[in-house]
Amino acid sequence: MRIAIDAMGGDHAPRAHVDSALAAAAEWPDTQLILVGNPEKIQPLLGSDAPGNISIEPASEVIESDDEPVKAVRRKADSSMVVAGRMVKEGRADAMISSGNTGALMATGLLVVGRMAGIERPGLAAMFPTLDNRGLLALDMGANMDAKPEQLLQYALMGSIYRSKVHGIAKPRIGLLNVGTEAAKGNELTKAAFDLFEQAPINFVGNVEARDVLEGVCDVIVCDGFSGNILLKALEGAASSIFKLLREELTSSLKAKLAAAVLKPSFRRVRDRMDYNEYNGAPLLGIKGLVVKGHGSSDAKAMKTAIRQTRTAIGNRLIASLADEFSGK
Amino acid sequence: MRIAIDAMGGDHAPRAHVDSALAAAAEWPDTQLILVGNPEKIQPLLGSDAPGNISIEPASEVIESDDEPVKAVRRKADSSMVVAGRMVKEGRADAMISSGNTGALMATGLLVVGRMAGIERPGLAAMFPTLDNRGLLALDMGANMDAKPEQLLQYALMGSIYRSKVHGIAKPRIGLLNVGTEAAKGNELTKAAFDLFEQAPINFVGNVEARDVLEGVCDVIVCDGFSGNILLKALEGAASSIFKLLREELTSSLKAKLAAAVLKPSFRRVRDRMDYNEYNGAPLLGIKGLVVKGHGSSDAKAMKTAIRQTRTAIGNRLIASLADEFSGK
């Protein structure tokens, strides 16, 4: 299998991408890693004795994090992200991964790779850590701000297929993000979606409140892109604030510092279990090809996780399964 | 001033309400605390030598946390919550506080006390803790699930007046909850609201992302009731999950336990700084009288905080200021 990696996207580009490609190439000799970007920046990091299953695809431009997404994708036709998308479109790669500008990656999916037949609006997924360590696929995280009930149902179906194909869950439990667990709760969108979900061929477990999302009550949580973005960023913000306060308090006296030093491994384990990078590699679902988003702050370890997820998705024919589900609709 | 307290609402009723009334009565002799509820349950806790500024208003029924809100308010006319609302309506109390069923309290506000002239839809506010300890007023937290841009503007105006009158902030900074900080970001609702906010006589500081809410970047954050509920519960859920993981890790070995014991005061301070009860007493804004919501888990200390907030709101003529603002509209 062949995976195109946007080597210029994200906070630690291109170093993290080269390092993760080297590690992945060694672990999975059957996988061709194609680093897309400026060869002058990639080659020196790669060294002269790179393994045969790593190659470079030249791209002269870079989409920056503050570029306006659609404009950037249209104008920077030779950017690493767009070139990677084109490789998927033309069948020269089985998937692409990028940690760059999220909006631009969604635009690349739609405008370069193309929407999957039968899908109204693609959705951006994210994996959340959960207390039971199973993780949770949440979508949409911001591709579709004003979603319709039917679009939420497509997210539920796509999320179910993803969890089953990529994570091997037999009957993924689907939850609907809502303000209460009772059936009648919510806004117009979630009330209509609730009715659709009940009729659909999914394992619908009902409404799920934001406070229970991390508890492991479902395998997929579905929401519109606006709410999903609020959810994701609120969870991240709360974690960041708490760790900031802890750091402040635990360095406020010598006694606290000494005790905190003993607990360093414990704190690290808590941080790791709440770390979104541990589940790196979220798909843009509803695109004709496999487009995977890495966290912007991905390091080499996180990128290797994204590559592993992508390999599994390719190996289990995720895109073909999704296309089968939606082709007749 | 006279404050009616729903003595039967919340997890720690009536004990927490009696205890907080006793403490408040001693600290503020100018304030009449009216405990509304079953005298047979309240009187024994109050004792025989209760101060003269505490009284009991009998109410024979209780609205339970799982009662359907509107139905309960209509049918339980002699419930502690409805009776307290009626006292405000009839001018026998200057405000009411309840820690009971939130939906029922909103219904009491609308159906018993009545909507303020000029207000389309009342909004439920909450105070969030922030890293800079100034706190943040967030609304709407769930009164109005499908809000319109004009209603968000009313929330902004009411929030601004509340922060100025109750917390003494000269020019409260108003933020709009959104998925990005740029002006063009968001869904149809927030894009339209952004334009309205820019034209309004408020200190609008722009869009605020959920991850920055706790950082103290604004004094009021405005959102629709659905997003507000997701935000509030995601923040609470993340904090609860992190503390759960910490407890697990810090009791996993004897060494960890010993070090954690030394740090107990530090952990408590972090917990307190993230504790929503520290800012107890959020108003239902857009009601003719002052209706204040206490956290369901309020203890006596949290309830006394709610009473303090309510006193300040009465003293600074919050309701009259709001009525002035909206009466001509």
Chains A, B: CB pairs < 8 Å: 167
Contacts of B270 in chain A (CB under 8 A): 242, 245-246, 249
Task: Please indicate whether, in this complex, the C-beta atoms of A274 and B229 are within 8 angstroms of each other.
Answer: no
Contacts of B246 in chain A (CB under 8 A): 266, 270
Instruction: Give the residue with greater pLDDT, A196 vs B249.
Output: A196
Burial class (CB in 10 A: 0-12, 13-18, 19+), A91: exposed
Cβ atoms within 10 Å of B86's Cβ, excluding its own: 21
Topology annotation, domain A121-277 = Isopropylmalate Dehydrogenase (3.40.718)
Average pLDDT over residues B61-83: 96
Contact (CB, 8 A) for A115 and A92: no
Task: Please indicate whether, in this complex, the C-beta atoms of B234 and A240 are within 8 angstroms of each other.
Answer: no
Task: Please indicate whether, in this complex, the C-beta atoms of A211 and B233 are within 8 angstroms of each other.
Answer: yes
Q: Is A61 helix (H, G, I), strand (E, B) or coil?
A: strand
Task: Please indicate whether, in this complex, the C-beta atoms of A263 and B256 are within 8 angstroms of each other.
Answer: yes
Disruptive mutation site among A266, A273, A275, A278 for chain B (greatest number of B CBs within 10 Å): A266
Task: Please indicate whether, in this complex, the C-beta atoms of B250 and A266 are within 8 angstroms of each other.
Answer: yes
Residue of B148, B213, B138 whose CA lies nearest to B181: B213
Contacts of A266 in chain B (CB under 8 A): 246, 249-250, 252, 256
Task: Please indicate whether, in this complex, the C-beta atoms of B242 and A212 are within 8 angstroms of each other.
Answer: no
The sign of the dihedral angle between the CA atoms of A194, A200, A205, A210 is: negative
Contacts of A215 in chain B (CB under 8 A): 237, 241
Q: Which pLDDT score, from 0 to 100, does residue B327 have?
A: 84
In this predicted structure, the answer to whether residue B30 has a pLDDT above a threshold of 70 is: yes
The minimal CB distance from B239 to the residues A227, A238, A263 is found for: A238
Question: What is the spatial order of strands in the sheet that A2-6 belongs to?
Answer: A54-58, A32-37, A2-6, A95-98, A290-293, A282-285, A123-128, A136-139, A220-222, A173-178, A203-209
Q: Within 13 Å and on the Cβ side, how many CA atoms surround B199?
A: 8
Predicted TM-score (pTM) of the model is 0.92
Cβ atoms within 10 Å of A80's Cβ, excluding its own: 32
H helix or E strand, kind and range, residue A194: helix A188-199
Residue of B209, B149, B205, B218 whose CA lies nearest to B179: B209
Q: Model ipTM?
A: 0.91
Q: Average the pLDDT over each of A78-87, A258-267, B190-199, B291-300 and give the range with the smallest value.
A: A258-267
Closest approach of chain A CAs to the CA of B81, in angstroms? 22
Average pLDDT over residues B316-320: 96
The minimal CB distance from A249 to the residues B187, B225, B266 is found for: B266
- As a whole number of angstroms, the distance between CA B327 and CA B325 comes to 6
- As a whole number of angstroms, the distance between CA B157 and CA B141 comes to 16
**Nearest residue in chain B measured CA to CA from A190:** B226
- As a whole number of angstroms, the distance between CA B29 and CA B50 comes to 13
Query: Tens-digit pLDDT profile for chain A (329 aa)?
Result: 999 999 999 999 999 999 999 999 999 999 999 999 999 999 999 998 899 999 999 999 999 988 999 999 999 999 999 999 999 999 999 999 999 999 999 999 999 999 999 999 999 999 998 988 889 999 999 999 999 999 999 999 999 999 999 999 999 999 999 998 988 889 999 999 999 999 999 999 999 999 999 999 999 999 999 999 999 999 999 988 988 888 888 888 888 888 888 888 888 888 888 776 678 898 999 999 999 999 888 899 999 999 999 999 999 999 999 999 998 64
The minimal CB distance from A146 to the residues B188, B211, B223 is found for: B188
Contact (CB, 8 A) for B99 and B281: no
If pLDDT is split at 50, 70 and 90, which confidence band does B316 have? very high
Task: Please indicate whether, in this complex, the C-beta atoms of B234 and A213 are within 8 angstroms of each other.
Answer: yes
- In this structure, what are the phi and psi dihedrals at residue A63, rounded to the nearest 5 degrees? -85, 120
What residues form DSSP beta bridges with A103?
Answer: none
Disruptive mutation site among A68, A209, A233, A272 for chain B (greatest number of B CBs within 10 Å): A233
- Distance from the Cα of residue B43 to its chain's centroid: 27
3-state secondary structure chain B: CEEEEECCCCCCCCHHHHHHHHHHHHHCCCCEEEEEECHHHHHHHHCCCCCCCEEEEECCECCCCCCCHHHHHHHCCCEHHHHHHHHHHCCCCCEEEECCCHHHHHHHHHHHHCECCCCCCCEEEEEECCCCCCCEEEECCCCCCCCCHHHHHHHHHHHHHHHHHHHCCCCCEEEEEECCCCCCCCCHHHHHHHHHHHHCCCEEEEEEEHHHHHHCCCCEEECCHHHHHHHHHHHHHHHHHHHHHHHHHHCCCHHHHHHHHHCHHHHHHHHHHCCHHHHCCEEEECECCEEEECCCCCCHHHHHHHHHHHHHHHHCCHHHHHHHHHHCC
In this predicted structure, the answer to whether residue B72 has a pLDDT above a threshold of 70 is: yes
Rounding to the nearest 10 degrees, give the CA dihedral for residues A96, A102, A105, A106: 120
Disruptive mutation site among A65, A244, A245, A248 for chain B (greatest number of B CBs within 10 Å): A245
**Nearest residue in chain B measured CA to CA from A263:** B256
Contacts of B238 in chain A (CB under 8 A): 214, 234-235, 238-239, 242
Disruptive mutation site among A65, A187, A251, A257 for chain B (greatest number of B CBs within 10 Å): A187
**pLDDT, tens digit, 9 for 90 and up, residues B79-101:** 999 999 999 999 999 999 999 99
Cβ atoms within 10 Å of A183's Cβ, excluding its own: 13
Q: Which pLDDT score, from 0 to 100, does residue A264 have?
A: 87
- In this structure, what are the phi and psi dihedrals at residue A275, rounded to the nearest 5 degrees? -90, 120
Task: Please indicate whether, in this complex, the C-beta atoms of B245 and A177 are within 8 angstroms of each other.
Answer: no
The minimal CB distance from B242 to the residues A146, A210, A270 is found for: A270
Task: Please indicate whether, in this complex, the C-beta atoms of B256 and A236 are within 8 angstroms of each other.
Answer: no
Q: Is A39 helix (H, G, I), strand (E, B) or coil?
A: helix
Contact (CB, 8 A) for B104 and B73: yes
* Terminal CA-CA length for chain B: 29
The minimal CB distance from B263 to the residues A227, A241, A250 is found for: A250
Task: Please indicate whether, in this complex, the C-beta atoms of B242 and A238 are within 8 angstroms of each other.
Answer: yes
Residue B299 φ/ψ region, left for φ over 0, alpha for ψ in the -120 to 50 degree band, beta for the rest? beta
Closest approach of chain B CAs to the CA of A292, in angstroms? 21
**Nearest residue in chain A measured CA to CA from B145:** A187
- Establish whether the linkage from the previous residue to B122 is cis, with ω within 30° of 0: no
Closest approach of chain B CAs to the CA of A94, in angstroms? 31
Closest approach of chain A CAs to the CA of B258, in angstroms? 8
Rounding to the nearest 10 degrees, give the CA dihedral for residues A181, A187, A191, A194: -60
Look up the CATH architecture of domain A1-119+286-329. 3-Layer(aba) Sandwich (3.40)
- In this structure, what are the phi and psi dihedrals at residue A71, rounded to the nearest 5 degrees? -60, -45
Q: Is A304 helix (H, G, I), strand (E, B) or coil?
A: helix
What residues form DSSP beta bridges with B58?
Answer: B37
Closest approach of chain A CAs to the CA of B305, in angstroms? 23
Query: Tokens at residue A77, please?
Result: 């036709």
Task: Please indicate whether, in this complex, the C-beta atoms of B270 and A262 are within 8 angstroms of each other.
Answer: no
Q: Where are the domains of chain B?
A: 1-119+286-329, 121-277
- In this structure, what are the phi and psi dihedrals at residue A309, rounded to the nearest 5 degrees? -60, -40
Q: Do domains A1-119+286-329 and A121-277 have the same CATH topology?
A: yes
The minimal CB distance from A234 to the residues B235, B259, B260 is found for: B235
Task: Please indicate whether, in this complex, the C-beta atoms of A227 and B229 are within 8 angstroms of each other.
Answer: no
Beta A282-285 vs A290-293: how paired, if at all?
Answer: antiparallel
What residues form DSSP beta bridges with B36?
Answer: B6, B57
Contact (CB, 8 A) for B158 and B287: no
Residue of A13, A33, A14, A30 whose CA lies nearest to A22: A33
Task: Please indicate whether, in this complex, the C-beta atoms of A267 and B255 are within 8 angstroms of each other.
Answer: no
Contacts 24+ apart (CB under 8 A), B247-255: B249/A266, B249/A267, B249/A269, B249/A270, B250/A263, B250/A266, B252/A266, B255/A262
